[in-house]
Amino acid sequence: MATLGPRKVTEIAKVHPYNIDDDDDPHLHETRPNEAQAGRIYRVGFVLAAVLGVLTSVGCLVVTIMWFTLRPRSPTLWFNSLSIPTFVSSNSSLTAKYDVGFTFKNPNQIWNIVLGGIEVIIFYKKPYTLATTTVNKAIHLGMEKEKLVEAKFEEGEQWYWGESILEEIRRDFKDGNVSFHLNIRASVACHGSRWAFSSWRENGASAVVYSCVHLKVAFNATTGDGNLLGFLPRQCYLR
């Protein structure tokens, strides 16, 4: 039987685990402190940007709603009276005096209104201007307030248009009533409350025109003066 000699032991070199290139080993990819801090800053910045975007959207929505609900609205006009103490027509002219009363109403809750340059124009059958007058004093309307305005035409307003139109007016006058139309022009400026945004605080003056149509006046056969028929006040529409 053969005798076995001493065994030769082969030394196997030890390999440190970090020398093994294994991408699946989580221990091989330790997070560095600088990378972790950068990640936190990115997350905080993202959250702040999202919050700022939401706040901006909400602010724009609130401003839009406030504009559509609280923006200044033009005053409404209500016609109160029309009397004609003098109305004399001849073959070539018409001499008349007109007294007109109307009321401006401010529908705004946060806006004061100033009306100026008020002009009143009386028509016969719309195209034919009979007389004009102006109200020189400015009208100040507080929030949700109203004010009566009286416009008086000079005695003996004369009008020359043509024999055919005068003949129509005389015919209506003999029938007992004549239909008139009124236009009332004015400049309107709105002044907002102190708590309103500065850009809303004062709105530039703008021109408005109100129309009051089909104002039928009945004339007294004895005295010759005329007064408005129908229910009063009546609202004039904004053109």
- Residue 197 is predicted with a pLDDT of 46
The larger pLDDT score, comparing residue 139 to residue 204, is at: 139
DSSP 199: G
* Cα-to-chain-centroid distance, residue 127: 30
pLDDT tier, 80 (very low <50, low <70, confident <90, very high otherwise): very high
Amino acid identity for residue 31 in this structure: T
Least confident range from 95-104, 122-131, 134-143, 188-197: namely 188-197
| DSSP states of 18-48 | GGS--TT-GGGSPPPHHHHHHHHHHHHHHHH
pLDDT tier, 174 (very low <50, low <70, confident <90, very high otherwise): confident
Res 3 pLDDT > 60: no
Integer angstrom CA distances of residue 115 from 5, 118, 199, 211: 127, 7, 20, 16
- Residue 160 is predicted with a pLDDT of 63
pTM value is: 0.68
Give, in degrees to the nearest 5, the angle at Cα 101 between 96 and 103. Answer: 155
Res 126 pLDDT > 50: yes
* Distant-in-sequence contacts of 170-175, Cβ < 8 A, 24+ apart: 170/89, 173/87, 173/89, 173/219
- Residue 152 is predicted with a pLDDT of 87
Domain ranges of the chain: 26-70, 76-238
- Residue 221 is predicted with a pLDDT of 76
